[in-house]
Amino acid sequence: MRGSNGVVRCLLLGVVVASSGCAMVKVGDVSPRDYIAQRRGDILSSRHLSDQTSETLAMAGLDAATCEHSSPPCIGALTSVSPMDEERRQSAIAELWLARATREGSAADARTDAARSSAYLEAARHAYAYLFFTERTASARAFEDRQTQVRDYYNYAVQQFAIGLGHRAEHRPGTGLVARVEGTRVTVDLHALSWANERPREVVAASALRFQGIRSIYRRDGLGAELVVDVRPTEGDAPDRAYQAMPTPSATAFLRFGGATLPEVLASRDAVLEGHDPFRDATVSVGATAVPLAGNFTAGYGLWLARSGFATQSIATLFGRRGGISQPRIYLMQPYDPHRRIILLLHGLASSPEAWVNVANDILGDERLRRHFQVWQVYYPTNVPIAINNRAIRDVFTQTLSQLDPSGDAVASHHMVIVGHSMGGILARLMVTASGDTVWDDATQGSERRRAFFDRHAGEISPYLRFEALPQIDEAIFIAAPHRGSDIAMNRMVRLVSNLIRLPGAMVTRFGGMLADLGHDDDVALSDRGPLLPNSIDNLRATDPFIRSAANLPIAPRVRFHSIIARRSADGPLDRSDDGLVPYWSSHLSGAASEKIIVSGHSVQETPAAVLEVRRILNENIDRIGDVP
């Protein structure tokens, strides 16, 4: 009996063990959300360690939850585990250091800052080791989720490290800033950046910026931290030159560690934080391995516009109020590159570079266009008479080229494209037109006394009435341009606005007195001639003498030109249509290489259809001109 009880107990124990063993492995369904979380979830996306790191910790007998909150002991344990695949080890350690850095909180005391910087530096070091110094090459892991995660660990760690370093900088980076972080000597190398000798006011992560009013964010995936640097000069320190570089350039930070082998990289006490211009550098190399360099081509432009105050300033300029501008300026959307051709943008009345936000952004974001072109924007006072702006813009353009390319031999100084919207379209057309004596003769027609007066003041008047086509430009795009003026300029409300416009005092002093003297020589009563010094809205009348004369000037034969014309409605005859401000008969130019009609209001340059047309023309231009040396 006793023996049979023992057998029964053994059988029951076997059943329990067997059933328990079967219950050890279970299976269930994985939802699409969990599918992505399993492969992509990590300390950056979910604030918890990734499955891959958790598995690596389990192999070493470590608890992931414990390591997530207290990573240094786990890092030390992983470092000594053997054998272990180095890809597993280095990727896990990189994430653990990142967990340590993000758990340091947001306190700003020196001790916490130092600990955080050290953790980010070590996260970048181990990610760098994984990417370049483990068993397989980066290309061999190209389709692996884990490499994508580790690339993000590196990029984020470098981003935070660089921002922290930038905030603590007390000297101009170009002087060779050196920082010591927990025994590692970090040298800042910005020699590849045009603003290297400036002390940044602020370093901002491009990924942290969100914009309204910009349709697309253009960037390039790759290695490195995408940054925007505010290098606006301090008051009294502005450079004395005809142009200004955009004060918030994009930059990509790359952190390079000393050593040529895995042990050397891990033990190295030297690192270099490199600054790269993403417009110029598309790749970065470590040894024989070249990888794409990350880049953001929108964030710098967007931040500049957001902080510029252009909307308020352009209105102040129109009405001649305090805070406006009185002379044209040229802004470079990226550091000057002698090997890229120039697209010159001219905005319209009461406007500013903000008018081109999506046109310029799409050009900067298009890889092919970016490779061939650089964007310059003309910001000019839109209250000033067109003839005076024509001369002033020519002068600042010529001065800019002479400062950047004194010999005139650079690729940038040839085969330029000019694009103008509205009144900027009139000015763009004047830039590619030679006046000869036509405008001068038209201004003096029918009056010997007036001709004699003009001859006496020829030195002062001639530069505004006699001009040549700019030889650097051989393609033009005119958008909603009132080449022959507009009847809307005679509208009562528009005339009231025109009467509120004030011209710069220096301009009135210079030209007003001289033109007032014309009243003594002219056989037309002063009251019949209108204002002695017309403003920009006066110039937009279809009856304005300068506009009527300039409209008949031929565009230089070498210049290929295009028209983009808006109409408010698709209904009705084209030749009777308008965009609310400019009629078709004024925008249309015979002989255009192309004419695109878009159903839109006057601000047609903002529409996707117009941006696509500009990009089409520019790509066609590249096909025709070909690759430049």
By CB atoms closer than 10 A (0-12, 13-18, 19+), residue 314 is buried
Backbone angles phi, psi at 588, to 5 degrees: -70, 135
CA distances from 19 to 11, 12, 23, 317, 426 (A): 12, 10, 6, 85, 88
Mean pLDDT of 445-451: 81
Distance CA 461, CA 533 (A): 13
| SS3 assignment, position 621 | helix
Find out whether 335 and 249 touch, Cβ atoms under 8 Å.
Answer: yes
The position carrying tokens 């910790």 is 57
Residue spans in the chain of domains classed CATH 3.40.50.1820: 309-508+534-625
Using a 10 angstrom Cβ sphere, with 0-12 exposed, 13-18 middle and 19 or more buried, the burial of residue 399 is middle
Assess contact for 132 and 254: CB atoms under 8 A.
no
Q: How confident is the model at residue 515, as a pLDDT? A: 53
* CB-based contact 136:87 (threshold 8 Å): yes
Whether the per-residue pLDDT at 60 is higher than 80: the answer is: yes
CA distances from 502 to 391, 392, 627 (A): 20, 18, 47
Instruction: Indicate the SS3 state at residue 343.
Output: strand
Three-point CA angle 288, 289, 295, nearest 5°: 135
User: What are 467's two structure tokens?
Assistant: 């001009």
Residue 298 predicted with pLDDT over 50: yes
> Per-residue pLDDT for 454 more than 80?
yes
Q: CA 486, CA 349: separation in Å to the nearest integer? A: 13
With contact defined as beta carbons under 8 Å apart, do 156 and 127 qualify?
Answer: no
Cβ–Cβ under 8 Å, residues 132 and 138: yes
Amino acid at residue number 406: P
d(CA 549, CA 441): 9
Q: What angle do CA 417, 536, 242 make, to 5 degrees?
A: 50
Q: In this structure, are strands 416-421 and 473-479 parallel, antiparallel, or unpaired? A: parallel
Topology of the domain covering 309-508+534-625: Rossmann fold (3.40.50)
Higher pLDDT, 180 or 146: 146
Residue 346: is its pLDDT beyond 70? yes
Banded model confidence at residue 628, pLDDT cuts 50, 70, 90 = low
pLDDT score for 536: 81
**pLDDT given at position 17:** 44
DSSP 379: E
Report CA 436 to chain centroid distance, whole Å.
39
> How high does pLDDT run on average in the chain?
88
Burial 467-495 (b: 16+ CB within 10 A, else e): bebbebbbbbbbbbbbbbbbbbbeeeebe
- How far apart are alpha carbons 429 and 427 in whole angstroms? 5
Q: For residue 598, how many C-alpha atoms fall within 13 Å in the half-sphere facing its CB?
A: 23
504: cis peptide before it, omega within 30°?
Answer: no
Which tokens in the block code for residue 479? 């958008």
Count CB-CB contacts under 10 A for residue 544.
Answer: 21
* DSSP reduced 3-state for 104: coil
pLDDT category, 172, cuts 50, 70, 90?
A: low
Residue 223 DSSP code: B
Q: Which amino acid is at 415?
A: H
Reply yes or no on whether the pLDDT at 565 is more than 60.
yes
pLDDT of 178 reads 82
Enumerate the β-bridge partners of residue 578.
583
> pLDDT tens-digit profile of 484-529?
999 876 676 766 676 777 777 677 666 765 555 544 444 544 444 4
Q: What CA–CA distance (Å, rounded) separates 137 from 578?
A: 61
More confident residue, 424 or 499: 424
